[in-house]
Amino acid sequence: MNFEVKLFAGAREIVGKDLVIVSLEAGATVADLRIALGQSIPALRETIEHVKFAVNHDYADDDTCLSPDSEIACIPPVSGG
Amino acid sequence: MNFEVKLFAGAREIVGKDLVIVSLEAGATVADLRIALGQSIPALRETIEHVKFAVNHDYADDDTCLSPDSEIACIPPVSGG
Amino acid sequence: MPRLTFEPIDSACLLTEVQSARAGAVVLFLGTTREYTDGRRTVSLEYDCYRDMAQQKLEQLQAEACQKWSLVHCAIVHRLGDVDLGEVSVAVAVSAGHREAAFAAGKWLIDTIKEVVPIWKKENWHDGTSEWVHPGISE
Amino acid sequence: MPRLTFEPIDSACLLTEVQSARAGAVVLFLGTTREYTDGRRTVSLEYDCYRDMAQQKLEQLQAEACQKWSLVHCAIVHRLGDVDLGEVSVAVAVSAGHREAAFAAGKWLIDTIKEVVPIWKKENWHDGTSEWVHPGISE
What's the ipTM?
0.96
The average pLDDT across C42-56 equals: 97
Question: pLDDT value at position C139?
Answer: 57
Average pLDDT taken over every residue of chain A: 96
Task: Show residues of chain C in contact with B78, CB under 8 Å.
Answer: 114-120
Minimum-distance CB partner of C99 among D19, D29, D102: D29
What is residue C64's predicted lDDT score, i.e. its pLDDT? 98
Average pLDDT over residues C83-99: 97
Domain assignment present for residue C136? The answer is: no
Chain B contact partners (≥3 CB pairs within 8 A) = C
- Whether residue C130 has pLDDT greater than 70: yes
Q: Count how many domains chain D has.
A: 1
Q: From C51, which residue of chain B is nearest by alpha-carbon distance?
A: B57
Task: Place A68 in a pLDDT band, splitting at 50, 70 and 90.
Answer: confident
pLDDT confidence of residue B68: 84
A48, D2, D75, D111 from D26: Cα distances, Å: 41, 17, 11, 18
pTM of the predicted model, to two decimals? 0.96
Question: How much is the average pLDDT of C75-83?
Answer: 98
- C-alpha B17/C-alpha D119 separation (Å) is 61
Nearest CB partner across the interface for D15, out of C11, C26, C27: C11
Mean pLDDT of B20-33: 96
| Domain spanning B2-75: CATH superfamily | Beta-grasp domain (3.10.20.30)
In a domain, D134, yes or no: no
The minimum CA-CA distance between D61 and chain C, rounded to whole Å, is 19
Residue D10: CB atoms within 10 A of its CB come to: 15
Exposure string for B56-77, b = 16+ CB within 10 A, e = fewer: ebebbeeebebeeebebbbbbb
- Write the pLDDT tens digit of every residue in D53-82: 999 999 999 999 999 999 999 999 999 999
| pLDDT value of residue D75 | 98
Q: Percentage of chain B surpassing pLDDT 70? A: 100
> pLDDT of D20-45, one tens digit each?
999 999 999 999 999 999 899 999 99
Chain A contacts to D (CB-CB under 8 A)? 6, 8-10, 12-13, 46-47, 50, 54, 57-59, 71, 73, 75-81
Whether chains A and B touch (3+ CB pairs under 8 A) is answered by no
Range of the domain at D53: 3-129
Q: Out of A9, A71, A73, whose CB is closest to D134?
A: A9
Looking at the partner chain, which of D78, D113, D132 has a beta carbon nearest the beta carbon of A9? D132
Is the pLDDT confidence value at C75 over 90?
A: yes
Q: Which residues of D18-55 are buried (b: 16+ CB within 10 A; e: fewer)?
A: bbbbbbbbbbbbbbbbbbeeeeeebebbbbbbbeebbb
Whether D138 is in a domain gets the answer: no
Do chain B and chain C touch with ≥3 beta carbon pairs under 8 Å? Answer: yes
Q: Is D87 among the domain residues?
A: yes
Domain with D118 in it: what CATH number?
A: 3.90.1170.40
Residue C102 placed within a domain: yes
3-class DSSP state of C14: helix
Task: Tell me if D78 and A50 make a contact (CB, 8 A cut-off).
Answer: no
Q: What is the mean pLDDT of residues C65-77?
A: 98
Whether residue D139 is predicted with pLDDT greater than 90 in this model: the reply is no
Check if the beta carbon of residue D90 is closer than 8 Å to that of residue A80: yes
